Copies of this chain bind each other. A is one copy, B any other.
Amino acid sequence: MTAVPAVEALLFDVFGTVVDWRGSIARLGAAFAEGRDLPPVDWAAFADAWRARYQPAMAEVREGRRPFVRLDVLHRENLDAILADFGLESLSAAERDELNLFWHRLDPWPDSVAGMTRLKRRLILAAQSNGNIGLIVDMAKYGGLPWDVVLGAEVVGAYKPRPEAYLGACERLGRAPGRCLMVAAHNDDLAAAADCGLRTAFVRRPEEKAPGETYDLVPTGDWDLVVDSLDELADRLGC
């Protein structure tokens, strides 16, 4: 690790880095099932199955086989694809829409709001997520995430880890990539950002992982910073 980077803007990965998508989807699913006549569902497994289709769906766009569509659309298609595996194929269109909005109400990790609030005093906080604008805005209102600006796939027209996603975000902020720090719990996201000249911070989020998953538990690159929370990131950046 090098000296503390002199950056002006933080670009955040959101799913897994700032919010607990897995635990939230599982909790929201269980709450949805209450009082409904549904077969028993392992909602954590449901969350994992839904998320497993996330990268392949974006790959269709990233690799040019499909024009850009926002993540809400991909989430809904992926939901339709997994429902039968959980005995939920009888859910109505309105119920599927309701499930799809679970992604708009993901809980922040316990340190996220406090850490971001400190970081925001001195730095620009940009959501640089594959989530669409409305999703990220709804999530911020729900969880109190103090973004300065919502960038991300729908603003730049490209899904991470395409280089246009990182370079486009820096360009929209009017900052050189070296003045921007990508914050993520995922090594591939940071590797792509570093290739574009951004600085990097790895946040350890072991609780994002399903039992037995071992990827992204440790940093695998020479990231500028490695932290266990956004509070620690604020400490390290002197905020």
Q: A interface vs B, CB < 8 Å?
A: 72, 124, 132-138, 140-141, 147-151, 154-155, 172-175
Contacts and interface: CB of A to CB of B under 8 A. Distances in A.
A137 B133 contact: no
A154 B141 contact: no
A131 to B, nearest CB: 12
Given A137-B149, A147-B148, A154 B172 contact: yes
Nearest to A145: B148
Chain A interface, DSSP helix/strand/loop, else mixed: helix
Contacts of A133: 149, 151, 155, 172-173
Given A155-B155, A172-B154, A174-B72, A141 B134 contact: no
B137 A173 contact: yes
A172 B136 CA distance: 11
A148 B155 contact: no
A154 B171 CA distance: 12
A172 B124 contact: no
Given A72-B174, A133-B149, 9 more contacts: A134-B173, A134-B174, A137-B149, A137-B173, A138-B174, A141-B148, A147-B149, A148-B150, A149-B149
A105 to B, nearest CB: 13
A107 to B, nearest CB: 18
A15 to B, nearest CB: 18
A149 B149 CA distance: 5
B124 A137 contact: yes
Contacts of A124: 137, 141
Contacts of A134: 172-175
Nearest to A140: B148
Nearest to A172: B133
Contacts of A141: 124, 148
21 contacts: A72-B174, A124-B137, A132-B172, A133-B155, A134-B173, A134-B174, A134-B175, A135-B174, A136-B149, A137-B148, A137-B149, A137-B173, A138-B174, A140-B148, A147-B148, A147-B149, A148-B150, A149-B150, A150-B150, A154-B172, A155-B155
Q: What are the 9 closest A-B residue pairs judged by CB atoms, nearest first?
A: A134-B174, A133-B172, A149-B150, A137-B149, A134-B173, A137-B148, A155-B155, A124-B137, A134-B172
